[in-house]
A and B are shown apart, each in its own frame.
Chain A
Amino acid sequence: MYFIRFEAFFKGPYSFKLNMSKLVKLKKGFDIKLVGKAEKQMEAFKPAQTFAIKPTDFVGMRRPKVLVKEGDTVKSGTPILFDKKLDKVLYAAPVSGEIVEIKRGEKRKLLEIRIMADAEVSYETFEKFSESDLKSLSKEQATEQILKGGAWPQIIQRPFGVVANPEDEPKAIFISGFDSHPLAPDYGMLLKGQEKFFQAGITVLKKLTSGTVHLNLDAESEVFPVYGGIQGAQVNKFSGPHPAGNVGVQIHHIDPINKGDLIWTVNPYGVAQIGKLFLEGILDASKLVAITGSELKKAAYVKTYVGANVSTFVDGNLKSDHVRVISGNVLTGEKIASDGYVGYYHHQITVIPEGDYEEFLGWIKPTTSKLSFSKALGIFSFMNKGEFKVDTNAHGEERPFVVSGVFEKVLPMDILPTYLFKAIISEDFDEMEELGLFEIIEEDVALCEFVDPSKNDLQEIVRNGIELLMYS
């Protein structure tokens, strides 16, 4: 019902390519404005020395198997890991250097493969294609090159949000061209100069589906140069607060997932990486990471590689010492050590204060400085139009679901979140399916988790439900 024909709004030179495009206006959601946005400039932090691939970043990876030993030397693109349950997909080293540690936890669970980087990165070389070659590329060739080059983990399957199975064929491929999370990096910045590779990536991805490749852009911002004049993809626009940038929300409004459907999603970074793999024949895992958060002296972008150690970006850059370093954003990210590694899919780290303090009558004190979606007693943050400094305090204890109607206000999908959560908790498989668990992953309910007055771990609940459905 939110669909409005796009042509009426857009009569530019690209309109002939956009004839199927949609403009989706979302109203529900919540933009969390935090202190510590990265300035749109590169900062010359000391480069990271070590890099790590963490199998735990790949949800759904069940039996990781390491292909290298400590002391081996690898190049960027050398396979170092695969999942025995999906053994065609190779996970490659992001940099060249020496495998310095294979870190395992309890029960020998594989945690990290650490690589000490060479000063100059050298690359494994793969077959090279010209732009005109790409047009005649077959599906098999495309799949093989992406798998061999170690770029396949960039392709995520919905439902479930796991690495795609190369033997499947999705009904469509979705690319969200922007990130609406708090302090999210600017994709125009991340993809600067990647126009050629991004277009090549789209061309390659188009081979993998008989359906449409959708590129979804922010209707409220200018179109980044990298997305201008894209061919081979349907460009849709989304307006509204976060989670408008979540690919799951976009799929729901353009081509929803029903039982038995498969859709693949790729981050624009992955699209460009795949494109470069074909045009240049190398796996280029270099990426810009936004260093953000209220506790940093300098919030800016840094050029590094996938899985970078964060210590050189954080050490000496902190305003206080009692902080939490998060790989990713504050809604969906993961706490890492101050010498931990950026997650495989993350383009951002966030540093905020730890909140492990008691506050006298903190539950009743009037305040304008505490961020809240609600206007309940004494919370006047809705009057505060500025940016908030938020710590990790949970602001209350866990309780059963009491308040109704709050989740619905931050989930712009035709889904009944409370009923879905309850179905998962009670392990009712039919209900989970029928209520739409195929359509969401953790990030889609992150705002629900944030606003929940009963402080339940909803993202964890959703992942548990997905695992029940996947392995049942």
Chain B
Amino acid sequence: MKALQNLFDKLKPNFEKGGKWEKFYTLYEGHRTIAFAPDITTKAKGSQIKDAVDLKRVMITVVIAMIPALLFGIFNVGFQHFLAVGEEATLVDKVLFGAMAVLPTLIVSYAVGLLTEFTFCVIRNHPISEGFLVSGMLIALVMPPYIPVWQVALATIFAVVIGKEVFGGTGMNVLNVALTARAFLYFAYPAQISGDKVWTYLGDKAAVDGFSGATALSVAFQAGQNGEAVTSAFANHNSAIGDNLFSVANMFLGLIPGSIGETSVLMILIGAAILVGTGVGSWKIIVSGFAGTFIMGLIMNAFAVNEFMAMPAYYHLLMGGVAFGIVFMATDPVSAAQTESGKWVYGLLIGFLTVIIRVTNPAYPEGIMLAVLLMNVFAPLIDYYVVKANKKRRLQRATV
């Protein structure tokens, strides 16, 4: 380790004021602080000791919480592929196939995102912040199993620049960075990120006869249009590749087509447990988000005018990206409500909006992305009222 420290020390003069790479000091500092926790000490006045946690640890904790979903996603991409093409395959084959499809997306998202971030840090002479560690992973996990890497790159650049850096970088963004990337692709290149064709990666093989790549949500939505009960639509769906693809167990475990990281509610709950257990993610947002989805599902049941609305409310929690969105997107502390009571309202409304968008939007049956983005925009408003109430309590106290 001494050798590495010496190497950094040797390079340091080049990056300091007057050195030949003076402009890139922030890159030098960024890399050194990744290798070594810095030797910064507390100031002469003020707290003389500091908590062992810093933003790097917070961020890496979130990344770790996503790893179960990522690993399962890799497996599931392979699993769905071999299911669709009707071939038997070993676990290793499935994982390898999945990795071939998923890893390019992940690598490109990190590489392009970090490059964009570094460029901004150098131009604006900011320290390199840790925020993108999480965003890079999130962007990959909300992509379909296969998507052209140039689209990933474009979306990532858009998200980092327009979603974050123009507002001042990490901690200043209004919208969740990863969802900005996904929304960009959804509106710019809808063919690659919506419809029934993109959720199972076939590679160069053909699917078995009668195969449908529709997601649970779109099957449910169609059932609503056709006046068929959702449960029976699920039972009859895709019998070409085996019955009961959309059984409750499959949806919970995640053995269904969908975006890379969103399918397995189980893996996402493991991630949620890590976030809540470490205190890094807000349990209030997670609980109220799930509650909001379920409650609005029940309300839809009560006023059901079609079969989709009459679908059992808990199906909403199992299908699509609700679990992933609530656990990993809605809890992003920067774009979420920041006050503790605001978090309840914020989570609840995300749940409500998700279901409303799902059952009423004819174009695209998934609602969580737009619900979170919409609530990102409204979060400051929620906080505004919480803060106002706090001020009011203080004023009222004076007159008592």
The chain A residues found within 8 Å of chain B, CB to CB, are 32, 256, 258-259, 324, 326, 330-335, 350, 352, 354-364, 367, 370-379, 381, 390-405, 408, 414-416, 418-419, 434-436, 442, 446, 449-455, 457-460
Which of B38, B169, B172 contacts A396 (CB under 8 A)? Answer: B38
A399 touches B52 (CB 8 A): no
Chain B residues near A357: list those with CB within 8 A: 39
A259 touches B398 (CB 8 A): yes
B171 touches A405 (CB 8 A): no
Q: Within 8 Å of chain A (Cβ to Cβ): is B280? A: yes
Chain A residues near B333: list those with CB within 8 A: 402-405
Which of A258, A360, A375, A418 contacts B279 (CB under 8 A)? Answer: A375
Bound Cα distance from A419 to B57, whole angstroms: 24
Chain A residue nearest in CB terms to B393: A414
Chain B residues near A404: list those with CB within 8 A: 282, 333, 336, 338-339
Chain B residue nearest in CB terms to A355: B41
14 residue pairs A–B, Cβ–Cβ below 8 Å = A32-B49, A350-B48, A358-B5, A363-B56, A374-B53, A396-B38, A402-B131, A403-B333, A405-B282, A446-B47, A453-B53, A455-B50, A455-B54, A457-B46
Nearest-neighbour CB distance to chain A for B112, whole angstroms, equals: 22
Nearest-neighbour CB distance to chain B for A348, whole angstroms, equals: 12
A402 touches B50 (CB 8 A): no
Bound Cα distance from A373 to B54, whole angstroms: 11
Nearest-neighbour CB distance to chain A for B170, whole angstroms, equals: 6
Bound Cα distance from A396 to B279, whole angstroms: 19
Bound Cα distance from A188 to B395, whole angstroms: 38
Give 11 A-B pairs besides A334-B44, A374-B57 with Cβ atoms closer than 8 angstroms. A363-B33, A363-B37, A378-B57, A393-B37, A399-B170, A400-B171, A419-B387, A442-B46, A452-B51, A453-B55, A453-B57
Chain A residues near B206: list those with CB within 8 A: none
Chain B residues near A402: list those with CB within 8 A: 55, 58, 131, 170-171, 333-334
Q: Within 8 Å of chain A (Cβ to Cβ): is B60? A: yes
A360 touches B41 (CB 8 A): no
Bound Cα distance from A395 to B58, whole angstroms: 12
Chain B residue nearest in CB terms to A329: B48
A395 touches B391 (CB 8 A): no
Which of B46, B49, B55, B386 contacts A352 (CB under 8 A)? Answer: B49
Chain B residues near A446: list those with CB within 8 A: 46-47
Q: What's the A-B contact tally at a CB cutoff of 8 Å?
A: 229
A379 touches B170 (CB 8 A): no
Q: Within 8 Å of chain A (Cβ to Cβ): is B205? A: no
A450 touches B47 (CB 8 A): yes
A397 touches B339 (CB 8 A): no
B58 touches A453 (CB 8 A): yes
Bound Cα distance from A396 to B58, whole angstroms: 11
Bound Cα distance from A358 to B398, whole angstroms: 51
Bound Cα distance from A400 to B278, whole angstroms: 21
Which of B5, B48, B54, B339 contacts A395 (CB under 8 A)? Answer: B54
Per-position contact with A for B317-360: 1 when CB-CB < 8 Å, else 0?
Answer: 00000000000000001101011100100000000000000000
Chain B residues near A400: list those with CB within 8 A: 129, 168-172
Assuming the A-B contacts A376-B280, A402-B333, are A363 and B171 also in contact, with contact meaning beta carbons closer than 8 angstroms in the complex? no
Bound Cα distance from A326 to B46, whole angstroms: 11
Which of A360, A436, A451, A459 contacts B36 (CB under 8 A)? Answer: A360
Which of A373, A377, A416 contacts B57 (CB under 8 A)? Answer: A377
Which of B48, B56, B394 contacts A436 (CB under 8 A)? Answer: B394
A396 touches B394 (CB 8 A): no
Nearest-neighbour CB distance to chain B for A416, whole angstroms, equals: 5
Bound Cα distance from A450 to B185, whole angstroms: 41
Chain A residues near B129: list those with CB within 8 A: 399-400
B41 touches A361 (CB 8 A): no
Chain A residue nearest in CB terms to B30: A397
Q: Within 8 Å of chain A (Cβ to Cβ): is B11? A: no
Q: Within 8 Å of chain A (Cβ to Cβ): is B35? A: yes
Q: Within 8 Å of chain A (Cβ to Cβ): is B43? A: yes
Q: Within 8 Å of chain A (Cβ to Cβ): is B1? A: yes
Interface centre among B39, B130, B336 (most CB of A within 10 A): B39
Chain B residue nearest in CB terms to A324: B48
Which of B50, B58, B64, B278 contacts A394 (CB under 8 A)? Answer: B50
B277 touches A450 (CB 8 A): no
Nearest-neighbour CB distance to chain A for B337, whole angstroms, equals: 8
Bound Cα distance from A330 to B46, whole angstroms: 8
B37 touches A434 (CB 8 A): no
Chain A residues near B278: list those with CB within 8 A: 374-377
Nearest-neighbour CB distance to chain B for A426, whole angstroms, equals: 13
Nearest-neighbour CB distance to chain B for A243, whole angstroms, equals: 13
Q: Which 10 A-B pairs have the closest CB atoms?
A: A396-B54, A362-B37, A400-B171, A370-B52, A258-B398, A358-B36, A335-B44, A374-B53, A363-B56, A404-B338
Assuming the A-B contacts A396-B54, A416-B390, are A256 and B397 also in contact, with contact meaning beta carbons closer than 8 angstroms in the complex? yes
Bound Cα distance from A454 to B127, whole angstroms: 13
Chain A residues near B33: list those with CB within 8 A: 363, 397
Bound Cα distance from A180 to B200, whole angstroms: 60
Q: Within 8 Å of chain A (Cβ to Cβ): is B90? A: no
Assuming the A-B contacts A334-B44, A400-B171, A457-B43, are A450 and B49 also in contact, with contact meaning beta carbons closer than 8 angstroms in the complex? yes
Per-position contact with A for B363-400: 1 when CB-CB < 8 Å, else 0?
Answer: 00000000000000000000100110011011101100
Bound Cα distance from A62 to B214, whole angstroms: 73
Bound Cα distance from A370 to B51, whole angstroms: 8
Which of A258, A395, A397 contacts B397 (CB under 8 A)? Answer: A258
Bound Cα distance from A16 to B338, whole angstroms: 46
Chain B residues near A358: list those with CB within 8 A: 5, 36-39
Bound Cα distance from A42 to B237, whole angstroms: 83
Q: Within 8 Å of chain A (Cβ to Cβ): is B302? A: no
B48 touches A416 (CB 8 A): no
Chain B residues near A350: list those with CB within 8 A: 48
Interface centre among B45, B47, B50, B169 (most CB of A within 10 A): B47
A364 touches B56 (CB 8 A): yes
Chain A residue nearest in CB terms to B343: A405
Chain A residue nearest in CB terms to B129: A399
Nearest-neighbour CB distance to chain A for B119, whole angstroms, equals: 19
Q: Within 8 Å of chain A (Cβ to Cβ): is B92? A: no
B48 touches A335 (CB 8 A): yes
Interface centre among A361, A390, A405 (most CB of B within 10 A): A405
A359 touches B36 (CB 8 A): yes
Assuming the A-B contacts A359-B36, A360-B35, are A395 and B41 also in contact, with contact meaning beta carbons closer than 8 angstroms in the complex? no
Chain A residue nearest in CB terms to B127: A397
Interface centre among A362, A376, A419 (most CB of B within 10 A): A376
Bound Cα distance from A416 to B389, whole angstroms: 11
Bound Cα distance from A326 to B130, whole angstroms: 32
B387 touches A416 (CB 8 A): yes
B48 touches A330 (CB 8 A): yes
Chain A residue nearest in CB terms to B392: A434
Chain B residue nearest in CB terms to A363: B56
Q: Within 8 Å of chain A (Cβ to Cβ): is B244? A: no
Interface centre among A363, A398, A449 (most CB of B within 10 A): A363
Q: Within 8 Å of chain A (Cβ to Cβ): is B7? A: no
A394 touches B41 (CB 8 A): yes
Nearest-neighbour CB distance to chain A for B208, whole angstroms, equals: 44
Nearest-neighbour CB distance to chain A for B320, whole angstroms, equals: 27
B51 touches A371 (CB 8 A): yes
Assuming the A-B contacts A354-B41, A374-B279, are A395 and B52 also in contact, with contact meaning beta carbons closer than 8 angstroms in the complex? yes
Chain B residue nearest in CB terms to A358: B36
B56 touches A330 (CB 8 A): no
Interface centre among A256, A446, A452 (most CB of B within 10 A): A452
B36 touches A362 (CB 8 A): yes
Chain B residues near A398: list those with CB within 8 A: 127
Bound Cα distance from A367 to B395, whole angstroms: 46
Bound Cα distance from A363 to B36, whole angstroms: 8
Q: Within 8 Å of chain A (Cβ to Cβ): is B151? A: no
Chain B residues near A360: list those with CB within 8 A: 1, 4, 35-36
